[in-house]
Amino acid sequence: MASKKKRNRPRPPSVPRSAPKPSAPKPAATTPAAPRAATPKPAAAAPRPAGAKAPGAKGPTRAERLAAAEKARRRKALRTRALVLGTLLAVVTLITVTVTSSRRSNDRTVSRLEASGSCSYDTKTDSDRGPGRNHVTGNLSYETNPPAGGDHDPAAAAPGVYTLESKPPVGKTVHALEHGYVAIWHRPDLAAGTLDELKVLAGRFDRDVLLVPQESLSQPVAATAWHRRLLCSQPDLAALERFVTEYRNKGPEKIPH
């Protein structure tokens, strides 16, 4: 008999091992929170110097404005000083040039007055106390002959041709010089022809000249204006006319004539 094969019984399916149950997640251990870094406080701003511009500020600071104003003041002061100095320099230069020019002009005039050799020019005069303060009444005498200044009579002589009988006191003639008149003095014994020539000259300047005889003259003819004299050993009509032309109306008291 055929042996019966033993039929293998099917194995019961193996029960899979049960997977381990997932364990519940353990609560994470609470670690103490790290301390928060302290936010650094902004450093205190350094104090601004007086007048310094604030950050973000527009325009010049007070200090800059003061500095600019001071600079402008100094520039103005320098300009003013320069202007004053320049003006003073110009005035001094003008005075110097004027005085120098006047002296040169007078030197040329004196050279012409003395060109003939008959006349000499000088500025001798008696002392006085200034125009208008040298009026003296009574008799007057003068050290300078003929006189060209000094104390004088309060009244002035008028221009004209005088004789020994009509001539004014010397003090009145000197006062006329102060008013810008010119006196031509001559000795009474002057030759008639020369005296006539002097009268013609005085007639041409009848508003400016006094023709006066003077017995005490050392020279035949002389002419005087205020603080100026021309002494002629011989009559020199050209020199006398130049003297009149140059020095008439140049007295310290301006009297129209």
pLDDT digits (tens, 9 = 90+) for 5-42: 555 555 655 555 554 555 555 555 555 555 565 555 65
Is 196 inside a domain boundary? Answer: yes
Cα separations in angstroms, 198 against 29, 184, 214, 225: 150, 8, 14, 17
Sheet of strand 119-122, all strands in order from the earlier edge strand to the far edge? 119-122, 228-232, 221-225, 182-186, 209-213, 160-161
Is 240 inside a domain boundary? Answer: yes
- Calculate what percentage of the chain has a pLDDT beyond 70: 77
Let me know whether 138 and 221 are in one domain: yes
168: Cβ–Cβ under 8 A, 6 or more apart, which residues? 157, 162, 210, 212
Give the domain CATH number at 192: 3.40.30
159 near 176, Cβ under 8 Å?
yes
Task: Look at the pTM and tell me if it is higher than 0.85.
Answer: no
Let me know whether 123 and 238 are in one domain: yes
Residues of the chain with pLDDT under 70: 1-57, 131-132
C-alpha 23, offset from chain centre:
115
Let me know whether 180 and 144 are in one domain: yes
Is 71 inside a domain boundary? Answer: yes
Let me know whether 100 and 131 are in one domain: no
Domain count, the chain: 2
Is 2 inside a domain boundary? Answer: no
Let me know whether 228 and 133 are in one domain: yes
Q: What is the pLDDT of residue 55?
A: 60
Let me know whether 167 and 194 are in one domain: yes
End of a domain among 78, 94, 113? 113
156: Cβ–Cβ under 8 A, 6 or more apart, which residues? 172, 175, 176, 178, 179, 181, 255
Is 35 inside a domain boundary? Answer: no
Is 152 inside a domain boundary? Answer: yes
Q: What is the pLDDT of residue 255?
A: 87
pLDDT in tens, 135-147: 988 888 999 999 9
Let me know whether 134 and 150 are in one domain: yes
Is 75 inside a domain boundary? Answer: yes
What is the total residue count of the chain?
Answer: 257
Class of residue 139 by CB neighbours under 10 A (exposed 0-12, middle 13-18, buried 19+): exposed
End of a domain among 71, 90, 113? 113
Q: What is the pLDDT of residue 219?
A: 96
Q: What is the pLDDT of residue 139?
A: 84
Q: What is the pLDDT of residue 3?
A: 47
Q: What is the pLDDT of residue 94?
A: 87
End of a domain among 113, 129, 148? 113
Let me know whether 92 and 133 are in one domain: no
Give the whole-angstrom CA distance, residue 176 versus residue 180.
7
Let me know whether 191 and 74 are in one domain: no
251: Cβ–Cβ under 8 A, 6 or more apart, which residues? 177, 178, 179, 180, 181, 225, 226
State phi, psi for 81 to the nearest 5 degrees. -60, -45
- Type and span of the H or E element at 121: strand 119-122
Q: What is the pLDDT of residue 83?
A: 92
Let me know whether 74 and 132 are in one domain: no
Let me know whether 221 and 128 are in one domain: yes
> Which structural domain, as residue segments, surrounds residue 79?
60-113
Let me know whether 131 and 241 are in one domain: yes
